């Protein structure tokens, strides 16, 4: 978000150290990973006839005077409206249950959750970032409840595509990512791409680019005409991860990228494609394709500048679609990163930060029931009515032409049909977010070469692999 998305601090040798040092996205985040919008759109308008999908009740836990505390990144805007609408509907359908929702910015959530866990005052349910940024370390520390039995109860494996569900899976020992038990369930899908201002495109005689070369030509044309080609705010640091990941996705393949993230096949970060993508990012910065103050611009401020017409394109995730649609109406569009020739692009994205159950909860069955409601047909309805992206393919009836949400849904369905969804790069190791953001800053400031950048990433990766083998 996203997320989408990013991420945590290093694992320690002991549980106490681990808990004290732990600090996502992809998709958000992003998202995960992703930043949450700061606008205040109108509340969702639930259909009066729509009812929550029936779900089994727990025979082991009486639903009387139960309070479930839920922590996530839905701090404002459409995302907050949806989660709180669902909470109130769940309470109505489950008398005696109270849902207390607390939204935090991504980084603050991780820090607050860490402090709460160490003090024994954590939530019952929390968004747990995927991969080694958060989920893996928490599984190894036995701080999450496995959801496999609830998967069998509610049929989540039949609802979600296997590749998407795998992003929330680890073996019980926490050593193997993408296999084993389910530890979280994601409400939304996430796709990073380009929002564009239709009026600016039309005024400058520009069409939506269909190839990577055309994208670069579009940015140069806009720059020559005095228009800011691309807005992104990197004060939060994670935005540069998404931009770099999108460029890398045009230069790599699934076998290589999956190998890096799932740590399979002895892959390395010190490779030509890693360096080529870094060089291309530096080139775009040197040519002035980015808004001038991008390094000091918060992600929330960046999308507002885009909505105000201060630039032609915005590099962001699908979690912003509802707010951009509300702010810009039919003047906004969306397109995914175009390919180099006939090569399939592996797009940054995945599933939204999944909801997991904290080990200390007194009501795991009721917590699982609420998580199931977050991915029910009713939840999907609310998401689609408000321009959000569910973690399933979007029915054709919801794809409205000439809308930014329609553009997004078509792109999402195409990515799923082509199996072209990549990863959030910061999932690779527990420390990778910090390493990646630090060296992307150096790269963008031209204080580090692409070769130095690749070697820094590989040093972090190799160190973690060596620790795993001990």
Domains and CATH numbers, the chain: 15-49+57-189+352-406 (3.40.190.10), 191-351 (3.40.190.10)
User: DSSP secondary-structure letter at 342?
Assistant: T
Listed in sequence order, the residues at least 6 apart from 27 whose beta carbon sits closer than 8 Å to its beta carbon are 1, 2, 3, 4, 5, 33, 34, 130, 190, 192, 317, 348, 349, 350, 351, 352, 353, 424
**Beta-carbon count within 10 A of 442 CB:** 15
Helix, strand, coil shares of the chain, percent, nearest 5, are 45, 15, 40
**Beta-carbon count within 10 A of 245 CB:** 26
pLDDT at residue 313, rounded to an integer? 98
Listed in sequence order, the residues at least 6 apart from 175 whose beta carbon sits closer than 8 Å to its beta carbon are 140, 468
pLDDT at residue 399, rounded to an integer? 92
Regions of the chain where pLDDT drops below 70? 1-63
The answer to whether 321 and 335 are in contact (CB under 8 A) is: no
The answer to whether 187 and 379 are in contact (CB under 8 A) is: yes
Listed in sequence order, the residues at least 6 apart from 362 whose beta carbon sits closer than 8 Å to its beta carbon are 124
- Neighbouring-strand partners of residue 68: 99
Q: How far, in whole angstroms, is CA 374 from its chain's centroid?
A: 17
Q: Is the dihedral of CA 308, 312, 315, 319 positive or negative?
A: positive
Read off the tokens for 334: 């969306």
Instruction: Please write the tens of the pLDDT for every residue from 238-292.
Output: 999 999 999 999 999 999 998 999 888 889 999 999 999 999 999 999 999 999 9
pLDDT at residue 129, rounded to an integer? 87
Listed in sequence order, the residues at least 6 apart from 397 whose beta carbon sits closer than 8 Å to its beta carbon are none
pLDDT at residue 7, rounded to an integer? 37
Closest CA to 261 of 421, 74, 42: 421
Q: What pTM, to 2 d.p., does this model score? A: 0.74
Read off the tokens for 204: 């400058």
For the chain, count helices (H), then strands (E).
19, 11
Q: What is the rounded (10 degree) CA torsion for 317, 338, 438, 118? A: 30
Q: How many angstroms separate the CA atoms of 216 and 233, rounded?
A: 20
């Amino acid at each position: 978000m996203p997320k989408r998305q990013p991420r945590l601090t290093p694992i320690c040798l002991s549980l106490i150290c681990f808990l004290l040092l732990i600090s996502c996205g992809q998709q958000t985040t992003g998202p995960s990973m992703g930043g949450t919008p700061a606008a205040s759109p109108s509340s969702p308008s639930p259909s009066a006839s729509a009812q929550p999908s029936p779900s089994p009740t727990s025979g082991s836990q009486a639903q009387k005077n139960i309070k479930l505390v839920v922590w996530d990144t839905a701090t404002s805007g459409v995302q907050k409206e949806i989660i709180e609408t669902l909470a109130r509907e769940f309470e109505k359908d489950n008398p005696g249950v109270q849902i207390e929702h607390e939204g935090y910015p991504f980084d603050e959530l991780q820090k607050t959750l860490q402090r709460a866990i160490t003090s024994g005052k954590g939530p019952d349910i929390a968004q747990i970032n995927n991969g080694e940024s958060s989920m893996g370390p928490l599984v190894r520390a036995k701080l999450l409840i496995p959801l496999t039995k609830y998967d069998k109860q509610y049929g989540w494996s039949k609802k979600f595509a296997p590749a998407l569900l795998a992003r929330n899976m680890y073996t019980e020992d926490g050593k193997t990512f993408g296999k084993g038990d389910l530890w979280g369930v994601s409400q939304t899908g996430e796709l990073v791409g380009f929002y564009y201002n239709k009026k600016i495109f039309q005024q400058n005689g520009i069409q939506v680019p269909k190839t990577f070369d055309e994208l670069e030509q579009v940015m140069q044309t806009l720059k020559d005409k005095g228009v800011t080609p691309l807005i992104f705010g990197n004060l939060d640091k994670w935005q540069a991860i998404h931009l770099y990941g999108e460029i890398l996705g045009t230069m790599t393949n699934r076998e290589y990228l999956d190998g890096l993230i799932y740590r399979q096949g002895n892959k390395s970060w010190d490779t030509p494609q890693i360096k080529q993508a870094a060089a291309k990012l530096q080139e775009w910065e040197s040519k002035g394709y980015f808004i001038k103050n991008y390094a000091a611009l918060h992600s929330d401020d960046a999308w507002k500048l885009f909505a105000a017409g201060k630039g032609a394109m915005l590099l962001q995730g699908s979690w912003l679609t509802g707010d951009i649609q509300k702010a810009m109406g039919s003047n906004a569009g969306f397109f995914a990163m175009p390919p180099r020739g006939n090569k399939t692009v592996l797009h940054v994205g995945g599933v939204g930060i999944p909801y997991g159950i904290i080990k200390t909860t007194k009501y795991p069955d009721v917590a699982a029931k609420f998580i199931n409601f977050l991915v029910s047909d009713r939840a999907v309805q609310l998401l689609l009515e408000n321009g959000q992206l569910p973690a399933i393919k979007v029915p054709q009836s919801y794809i409205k032409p000439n809308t930014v949400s329609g553009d997004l849904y078509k792109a999402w369905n195409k990515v799923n049909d082509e199996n072209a969804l990549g990863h959030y790069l910061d999932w690779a190791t527990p420390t990778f977010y910090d390493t990646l953001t630090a060296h992307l800053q150096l790269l963008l400031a031209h204080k580090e070469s692409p070769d130095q950048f690749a070697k820094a990433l590989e040093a972090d990766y190799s160190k973690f692999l060596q620790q795993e083998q001990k």
